[in-house]
């Protein structure tokens, strides 16, 4: 007889979270509010890309931003400068947001008068990908300096995301980054993945990305 009892709880934890996430999506559908979950590594340009996204869409959509981090309100202060409704979520040391935490954020943000709510998730490529937040779509950013091998090293996030933004293409000449290889590897993980090469610094490619997002919101709201 084994001296230690081993109890598997991972499946039930995720099952409860998934059920809560589906309920959140149902409520957002009734409100006609689209929730985007944006994930990436620290330093990938997530906040800068989000600034460009808001700049492109704030005159066409009513937008709210939830900035999630372990501590500080740096990103929320930056986003608040755009004039859109912004709140900061602190995870208390946790490296992800789950459905319950996201729901708390949505209640504080207020969604009944929003077309688009964006969750800037905690920065890493592992933990956030494991939890369904209740978002309508998941997007991620991979920056050129991070390298083209990330779809091979961190497969889950590429699998669960609907959109991949390859950021910092303005520095491509200075890095050994194979665009064809990263696209091939990402599509190997997820053939349906939409991929947009962008530069949040110069604005290149941002219009294509924001037009896709605008159309996704319109479809969710039943306007297409």
**Pick from 57, 37, 44: which is nearest to 207 by CA?**
57
Cα 82–chain centre separation: 19
pLDDT, residue 12, reads: 61
Nearest Cα to 31, choosing from 115, 125, 119?
A: 115
Q: Tell me the per-residue pLDDT of 5-42, one tens digit each, with 9 for 90 and over.
A: 554 545 567 889 999 999 999 999 999 999 999 999 99
162-213, pLDDT tens digit by residue?
Answer: 999 999 999 999 999 999 999 999 999 999 999 999 999 999 999 999 999 9
Q: Are 211 and 55 in contact (CB under 8 A)?
A: no
Q: In the chain, what are the domains?
A: 10-220 (3.40.50.300)
Distance (Å) of CA 94 to CA 90, 98, 122: 9, 10, 9
pLDDT at 161 over 60: yes
User: The whole model's pTM is what?
Assistant: 0.92
């Amino acid at each position: 007889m084994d001296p230690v009892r081993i109890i598997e709880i991972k499946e039930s934890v995720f099952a409860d979270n998934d059920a809560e996430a589906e309920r959140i999506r149902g409520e957002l559908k009734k409100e006609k509010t689209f929730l985007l979950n944006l994930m990436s590594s620290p330093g990938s340009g997530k906040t800068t890309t989000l600034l460009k996204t808001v700049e492109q869409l704030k005159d066409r959509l009513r937008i709210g931003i939830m900035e999630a981090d372990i501590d500080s309100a740096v990103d929320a202060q930056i986003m608040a400068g755009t004039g859109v409704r912004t709140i900061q979520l602190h995870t208390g040391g946790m490296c992800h947001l789950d459905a319950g935490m996201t729901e708390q954020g949505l209640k504080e943000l207020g969604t009944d008068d929003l077309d688009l709510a964006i969750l800037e998730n905690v920065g890493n490529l592992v933990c956030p990908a494991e939890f369904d937040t209740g978002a309508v779509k998941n997007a991620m950013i991979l920056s050129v300096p991070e390298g083209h091998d990330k779809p091979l090293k961190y497969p889950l996030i590429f699998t669960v995301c609907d959109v991949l933004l390859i950021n910092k293409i303005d520095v491509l000449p200075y890095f050994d980054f194979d665009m064809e290889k990263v696209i091939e590897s990402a599509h190997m993980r997820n053939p349906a993945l939409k991929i947009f090469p962008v530069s949040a610094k110069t604005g290149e490619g941002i219009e294509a990305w924001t037009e896709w997002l605008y159309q996704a919101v319109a479809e969710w709201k039943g306007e297409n």
